[in-house]
Structure 1
Amino acid sequence: MDTRNNMRYARSRARGAIKPVTIAILVVVGILAVLSWFLIIKPHEDMVSVDQGGHPSTPVAVSQQAAPVNVEAMSLNDLLTEARSAMNQQRVIAPAGNNAFEFYLKVLQKQPGNQVAADALRETFPFAASNVEQAINQRQFSEADREIDLLSKVDPTNYTLTILRSKLDAQRKTLDEQQQKQLDQQHQAELAAQKAAADKAASDKALADKAASDKAAQQQAAQVAQQEKIKQDEARKAAATSDVAATTPAAGGGGGETRDAIPISTIRPRYPTAALRNNQEGWVDVQYMVNSDGSVSNITVVSAEPRHVFDSAAIDAIRRAKFSPAMRDGAAIAAQQQKRIEFKLSSSQ
């Protein structure tokens, strides 16, 4: 009897001792699992993440570029793996040839009923649409067109596509207007520069013409003054010769008249038709020789205003004129004279 009681008591104590041991074992296993995570599993995942171009604590930039891959040679599993990797790196719909959208679409092309790819495309559609809007705002119109085409392959009737296309058209129109405005402004600037250059050229030409005209006027005035001086000198010489002839007896005891050539007919020039039609007036200084027989020769134009308009008419008038030759000591001699012939409209009418 006592033996049976002792056996029951021993078994009861053994069952009570099992519970603390079990708890201790579970605690040790848990600790080992935690240590394995931090010492083995997590470092391994971090290494894998670094090998893929990222950092476990650093978010991947949206603008990260990736080289295109050959999706045609990839299996379904490879495509799905690449798609998930692209999503983790935020390559939702760009760059071209290496983004999650194209990988999932290729999966559906190879296996139209693939639910994983279909669900992923439907879930990532809003994020892809946001990327498209960013491309539009950055005026990357070709990239936006490409991304909208990809979205339309997933859900062609989605109203978001209509909104995106409207924004794209609006941005293009705005850019075209800005470019046209810049072209207009550039054209206006070019026209203003051309006008300024033309005005400057015209001003320079006017100044040059005025300088040339002033120089010609000065030369003409100097020539006229020189001719007047010559005439005055000749008049003084003639007067001196006349005085000498008057006071000195001629050879043989006789004396004679001394004088300049005298016109015996009115010098009336014919008014040029062109000058008359253009209401032009002017004058011509003509130098000529009155021969001893009263004829005229060696007719030249000394100066004229305006030039070459009345020259021929003045020469013709002198050629038709009649002169009494110059006399010296009673004998006719050849003498040079100069005369100004004026052309006035009042006298020609």
Structure 2
Amino acid sequence: MPEPEPTAPSPEEIRRRNVEFFLDRAEEALHQGLLIYPAGASAYDYYLRARQLDPDNRRAAGGIQAIVIEFVERARNALRKRSFGEVNTYLSRAEELAPGNPLVMEVRAQLARELSRARQDLPQGESLELPVGQLDAKSDAVVALLHRAAERIRNDGLRVIIVARTDAEGRWIYQQLREAVPGYRVRGDIKLGSPPRLLLQLGGNTE
């Protein structure tokens, strides 16, 4: 007696299997740190596909919430380092995934307070921004920019506040300023902040 042919899966069974497939791929991508990139193969993209097939799926909703929380935590860490540009980047990504999320709004408020304090901590002066990419590479172009700034500091008797993302970066910038004007004492201070820049102020050397 011939065996009965297997029954084809129902549309509901196909949908359920696809949901499970996308959820498994999402969690694998999440484990690898592929939160929103690459496009089409990120944890967020897979969770989104699962939700399109099953809008009330709790695993998909929880996974997207986990991604939002990860970006919020990264923003908080950046805020502790006073890397304000990074904070805004992470919060913007979180807001794209979950508009109006209370955690994002809370950190956004903290960022506003820290920016206000930073403005009070940094006296007004002419701001000279340092290109981040060139600064990271310690390129000849940024060294030349710092040398020109040092000559102006010496010639105009200015004081400088170096705003840097890290202590090491601030010390490197100060070293470039000193080496550009040997024998001259560059007066100033280093403060952590972002974006990196020089604040040139009156009241430097009077010698």
Q: TM-score, normalised by structure 1?
A: 0.26
Decide which structure has the larger Cα Rg and report it: 1
Higher relative CO (CA 8 A, sep ≥ 6), structure 1 or 2? Answer: 2
TM-score where L is the length of structure 2:
0.40
